[in-house]
Chain A
Amino acid sequence: MSWAWVEVKPNENDLMHPGHLACQGCGATIAARLALKVLGRKAVFVIPASCWSVIDGAWPQHALQIPVFHTAFETAAIAATGIRAALDMKGKHDVHVVAWAGDGGTFDIGLQALSGAAERNENIIYITYDNEAYMNTGIQRSSSTPLGAWTTTTPDERPEDKPKKNMMEILAAHRVPYAATASIAYPDDFIRKLKKATQVKGFRFIHLFSPCPPGWKMASNLSVRSARLAVETKIFPLYEIEDGEVYTITHWPKGLPVEEYFKLQGRFKPVLKDPDRLAYIQRYVETQWEKLVRLHEASHGYLPEEARATIRSAI
């Protein structure tokens, strides 16, 4: 028996070092690594209870090369606000204060503080890395869990029967200056959006799609592919909303059938066995997508050519 050694050297410019505690194929680590390429060293991460409470390392270890402030589950937005206030009082205006929260800490328990900070237009960047369930506690449903999915609290016999909460619409209703969806499978798109966010003042929100191989019952080499399929099936569209009103779709998907996305993941096994539910989900995705396309059209006054191919019904 022989061992293959791979020497892992941290890149000097990489602000996330090896030795973190994430699972293989974790989307949330790809997410942080990409985010820090944009944010640089003058950034603070505020991390509520979530996978990242663990990923960064146990005291006294710390995988990120920026200050990290851990906080309680429901307090990401307000703790970031508090840090921003202190730094502003000290005249340190050149720091990005970033709330870095999971979907549970954003869609569910953290929604109240998030709404407060968004409504007051606090000058922070809020990034939710969304893996669509409480993964850190072992895969329980959150209000981000998609229609048809298995989790330990929505077992195969009674899978998730409600669609994912639409956080972007909630943020849009707060009229925040910038909100965007992004995916770890589209790094250029994510980096462009985060750069744009850093140039805006006020409350900025990024909903970042971030697969979880163990939670989604899939192999760890499928993270990027599954994230890409979520976009190309129109399940997770890439778009941005400025001032709560101007909608821009930033990637026009191929419009693949939702099955293509579902069949990579064990969590959708119950849906794949249920043609009626599958058809229902496909219709639901089409309806949601059309609504979004119309918002894009209303915002810009026209649709690009590639948009038309993505819509089944005639516009």
Chain B
Amino acid sequence: MKLIEKSQYTVLKGNYAVAHGVRLARVEVISAYPITPQTTIAEKLADMTATGELKARFITVESEHSAISAVIASSLAGARSFTATASQGLALMHEMLHWATGARAPVVMVNVNRALAPSWNIWTEQTDSLAQRDTGWIQIYNESNQEVLDTTILAFKIAERVYLPTMVVLDAFILSHTSEPVEIYPQELVDEFLPPYEHPNAINFDDPRAIGAFARPEYYMEFRYNIQKAHEEALRVFKEETELFADMFGRKYDTVEEFMLDDADYVLVLAGSTATTAKYAVAQLRERGEKVGIMRIKLFRPFPVEDVRRVLSGRKKVAVIDRNVSFGHSGIFYMETRAAMYGAKDRPPIFGYVAGLGGRDVRPQDIIDIYEDMKRREEPENIIWKGVRV
């Protein structure tokens, strides 16, 4: 009997899928502070550590700032470390997100996408994680609870190969609190995929070092260059590890997912669980003979420029649907997609749509409306608001 055949099939909410991913990754130090809709991740991991199902220290801190600070330190001291948060919590961590990257701490964090206040809003929106774009974290977006579990495991593998912190992102409620069938892999198989963690600069009394010491202008820039090189390496590592993951676990992920794109003239670009809705809408459009497909962005940092160019070049039109906004400009995936396509051959016009902020539903009809609107328009616009009452 192959190991994979020992998998258990169950029904899990997205947050519990995260917890099982963390358990299977044999995380050693966890620190988290409660925030809706992340809370049930912390609760489940507290249970797992209390019962001994997961042998880890759970540090119940007094803020998200301390949660991330604790796991950066424990990661650099040689223990596989994890935290999870959302929205305000992620914003509070901001200073330490830069720190994690600069210190090369391969921490894994799950962020449950939630809108920022005010007004208070606990529902899904991607602006919280995308606003951390320039902190140097690897960012991976997810569409289903199975993908969340798989990506949590993958995240440790990738982070620990390139020594970069990695953020696994899922949508509030639509994934975090919705139950879906999930395959939970046997521990032995995950152990084969993910070896024990070591940090080359972990505390060593025979070779005492100062970690994170100040660097003068003659050195600082080289540290920054090395981080960029690590991100470039992370793109290759992501490809390798998703290949290996597919061989071992039977599920293939890529930097971008291509859906009904073979002969598509029109492409909808989006990320996260809205892609499921869009796939349903696109299938309907296909029945009507529309040549439309989807490119779902999974890997946001490092940004998969080559894959985006390969998929989008030569199409007639592209619409990017953003569940986020960078005020004063446009949706953020739109901005990134356009930047990647600048200078590409056969570059199609790209239209920017903002929809579903603060958890407002994005329904199949909304996707169809966006598709038809794009088809009708001649000149691309940076920001077209879908479903806003003005």
Give the interface of A toward B (CB within 8 A).
41-42, 44, 46, 53-54, 56-60, 62, 64-72, 74-75, 78-83, 85-90, 95, 112-113, 115-116, 119-120
Contacts and interface: CB of A to CB of B under 8 A. Distances in A.
A54 B212 CA distance: 11
Contacts of B203: 44, 67, 69, 83, 87, 95
Given A82-B71, A116-B62, A89 B28 contact: yes
Contact of B213 (A56, A79, A90, A119): A56
A71 B57 contact: no
A69 B96 contact: no
B362 interface: no
A68 B214 CA distance: 12
B213 A86 contact: no
Given A41-B208, A67-B210, A116-B62, 16 more contacts: A42-B205, A53-B213, A59-B213, A60-B219, A69-B76, A70-B214, A71-B72, A72-B96, A75-B66, A78-B61, A83-B73, A86-B79, A95-B205, A112-B62, A112-B63, A112-B66
A68 B219 CA distance: 19
Given A71-B99, A75-B96, A85 B72 contact: no
Contacts of A82: 29, 31, 59, 69-75, 77, 81
Q: How large is the interface on B (under 10, 10 to 19, 20 to 34, 35 or more residues)?
A: 35 or more
Nearest to B105: A82
A150 B17 CA distance: 57
A66 B208 contact: yes
A57 B213 contact: yes
Contact of B79 (A80, A89, A95, A116): A89
A86 B82 CA distance: 12
A68 B209 contact: yes
17 contacts: A53-B214, A58-B213, A59-B219, A65-B208, A67-B204, A67-B205, A68-B210, A69-B77, A70-B214, A72-B99, A75-B65, A79-B69, A82-B59, A82-B73, A89-B56, A113-B62, A115-B62
B79 A85 contact: yes
B222 to A, nearest CB: 10
B65 A86 contact: no
Interface of B: 28-29, 31, 55-57, 59-63, 65-66, 69-79, 81, 95-96, 99, 203-205, 208-216, 219
B74 A86 contact: yes
B71 A59 contact: no
Contacts of B69: 71-72, 75, 78-79, 82, 113
Given A56-B213, A58-B216, A67 B66 contact: no
Contacts of A69: 73, 76-77, 203, 210-212
Contacts of B76: 69, 83
Contacts of B28: 86, 89
A87 B209 CA distance: 16
A64 B208 contact: yes
A86 B219 contact: no
Most chain B C-beta atoms within 10 Å of own C-beta, residue among A44, A59, A65, A115: A59
Contact of A120 (B60, B96, B204, B209): B60
A90 B198 CA distance: 11
Contact of A59 (B63, B73, B204, B210): B210
A105 B74 CA distance: 20
B79 A70 contact: no
A79 B72 contact: yes
A87 B74 CA distance: 8
Most chain B C-beta atoms within 10 Å of own C-beta, residue among A69, A70, A113: A69
A280 to B, nearest CB: 37
Which 4 interchain pairs have the tightest Cβ spacing? Answer: A82-B73, A86-B77, A116-B62, A86-B79
A80 B31 CA distance: 13
Contacts of A44: 203
A52 to B, nearest CB: 11
Nearest to B66: A78
Given A67-B204, A87-B203, A78 B73 contact: yes
A46 B73 contact: yes
Contacts of A53: 213-214
